[in-house]
Structures are given as structure tokens and as C-alpha cells.
Structure 1
């Protein structure tokens, strides 16, 4: 009888899942490749076979979220009005914050910031989303509101003290709050 073969990519996904759990427990900087290997019960070279570095794991974890943000921006930019673009971006940001609430916790880790800032395409996505929310020629008020809205939305979604709130309820509360916050911008 033939030995069952694991589906392609399952080892990579297992590494990502173990790394995410360890990053949440110990921070990114506090997690070594050996710790990931130990969590999986494999050798460190087996982890290195999937990813060259811890930063590569971090980037692989956040890439799907950034891909989703890019899709939202494309839709927003296709809207015929500034208000339509802003509405699409706002609802998309809230949706992603809730969908990726376990992952967004890591955005407040210095090592995550380092890995993300190393990717110009990741930085451009955040800048574009902020620009859509701020509108053309943003003043200080628009910039502060947008920063508070983006960081506050992702912080609230990631807050372990709010884990008892369902995704649906959190989404509704965050969207209502974001709309109120951005209201002065038109």
C-alpha cells in the first residue's frame, strides 16, 4: 500500500500557523526558528526549507491581507466619486481588520514593522488607503482623523480584551465608529 502524501503546501501552512501562534505568545523578536521547529516537532532545517528567515515568515503571513487591501483600493479607485471611494475604503479596512484580527495584533511588534517597511509595495498600499480616506489636499485634521481611524480600527480588532465580541458585532461597531470619526471630512 502506498504511503499517503501530504497535500502540497501543507508544511508551509503548518510553519505559518505555528509561527503565528508563537509570535502572539512571545512576539516576533522573541520567537526563533528553533522555537518554530520545536513547536512543529521538526528540525530547524525543515523550517528553513520552507522559509529563509523569520522575516520571510512575517511577510508570508501578511501578504494575503495586503493583497486584499490592494483589491479594495482598486475597487475604491474605480468609484466615480471621492465619497464612493472613501466609503469603499472605509468598509474594506473595517472588514479586513476584523477578518485578520489575530494577525493585526502583530502590527504593533517592532519586528513586524521592520519586515513590512522593507517592502515598498506594502508601504504604498497603506499610503494609498490613507490618501483615499483623507481626500485631496488633506489638512492636519484630515491626516489626524485618518491616522486615528486606521490605527484605532486595527488596534481594536486585535485587542485581546475584545476577543469575546463576535466578528459580526465587532464589524458593526467598528464600521459605525469609523463612519462617525471620518464624518468631518465630508
Structure 2
């Protein structure tokens, strides 16, 4: 009797989950296909059956973030003022960072992910478009520094072990309060 085989979609999800855990521990460059295979208890060939390269795995890990950014962008684009669009973008980035804590922190801090974004124009354009949304039409260099500081702070806060026990709602409320104070000063 043949051994039951998991559906390809489920197997891909397992590879992405294992890769995410390892990327968080070792970084993208420090994680090998062999490490992912060993985590799953399968051969490297099994991992390569799902993804041709480690870059493809890294992109699959990042995809939920980009899906959420596109969704936030679509909502914000329907709003009439730059301020309203920025408010939606900031609220959305807080929700995104909380919902995808582990993914967001792997993506945000890993140099290999930055290199990957720079070699995939559609990803770079998505990030630039979202940055433009947060900054508004008449932004200055100081505005860019402020938004970079703010978004880095959001990601850093969600990764901080000292807030690990905060509920998502509690952390969201606290971050939104801080963001409102910060953006009011801009």
C-alpha cells in the first residue's frame, strides 16, 4: 500500500513555517536548505520539490506582509486627505506588525531580505509606495527620518521580549497612542 502524501500546498506551508523559525534564529543567510529539511524530518529534495531556491522560500515567508501592505494601501487610497491616508497606514502597520510579529521582525532586520527586496522590483516598489503613503506629498528629509524611526520602533516594540506577555489588543492600543503623539509632533 502506498504511503499517503500531503498535498503540495500543505507541504509548502510546512516548509515556510520551518524556514521562518530558522530564519528568526539564524537569519536567512545562516539558514540552509538542509537545516529546513532536518527541521521537517525530510530530505533536501523534498524541500526543493516545493521551492527551487532559498530565495523563493524567503519570498514566501515575506508574502503575508506584502499582501497586508497592499490591502492597507488599497484602503488608504480611497481616503480624501494625506492625513487620513497616513493615519490608516500607521494603524495598518501596527496591526501588521502585531499580527505577523515573527515574520515582520525577520523581514525588517535581515540584510539578506533587504538584498532580496532590492533584486525584486515589485517588492521594492511596494515598500516605496507604502513609504510615500505614510509620508504624504510634501515630505521632507526630516519627515522620512521620523517615519523610519517610527516604523522601526513599531517593529522593535513587537519583537521586544518585555512586551511578549501583552495581549495583542493591549499592545495595539499602546502603540496607537504613542504613534498619535509622535505624528502630532510632525
The alignment's TM-score, normalised by the length of structure 1, stands at 0.91
* 1:10-39 deviations in Å (ceiling 9; x for gaps): 111111111111111222111110011111
* 1:162-185 deviations in Å (ceiling 9; x for gaps): 322221111111111111111133
- The residue that corresponds to 2:150 in the other structure is 149
User: 1:5: how far off?
Assistant: 4.9
Aligned-partner SS, 2:185: helix
Aligned-partner SS, 1:10: helix
Contact conserved, 1:16 with 1:57, CA < 8 A, in 2? yes
Aligned-partner SS, 1:29: coil
- The residue that corresponds to 1:95 in the other structure is 95
Distance (Å, rounded) in 2 between the aligned partners of 1:14 and 1:68: 21
User: Unpaired runs of 5+ in structure 2?
Assistant: none
Instruction: Say if 2:30 is the partner of 1:26.
Output: no
User: 1:129: how far off?
Assistant: 1.9
Contact conserved, 1:149 with 1:178, CA < 8 A, in 2? yes
- The residue that corresponds to 1:39 in the other structure is 39
- The residue that corresponds to 1:82 in the other structure is 82
Moved over 6 A (4+): none
Contact conserved, 2:94 with 2:172, CA < 8 A, in 1? yes
> CA distance change for structure 1 residues 52 and 3 in 2, over 3 Å: closer, same or farther?
closer
User: 1:84: how far off?
Assistant: 1.4
- The residue that corresponds to 1:168 in the other structure is 169
Aligned-partner SS, 1:104: helix
User: Unpaired runs of 5+ in structure 1?
Assistant: none
Aligned-partner SS, 2:79: coil
Contact conserved, 2:82 with 2:136, CA < 8 A, in 1? yes
User: 1:3: how far off?
Assistant: 6.2
Cα RMSD (Å) of the superposition? Answer: 1.8
- The residue that corresponds to 2:141 in the other structure is 140
Aligned-partner SS, 1:164: coil
User: 1:6: how far off?
Assistant: 2.8
Contact conserved, 2:15 with 2:36, CA < 8 A, in 1? yes
Tell me the matched-pair count. Answer: 185
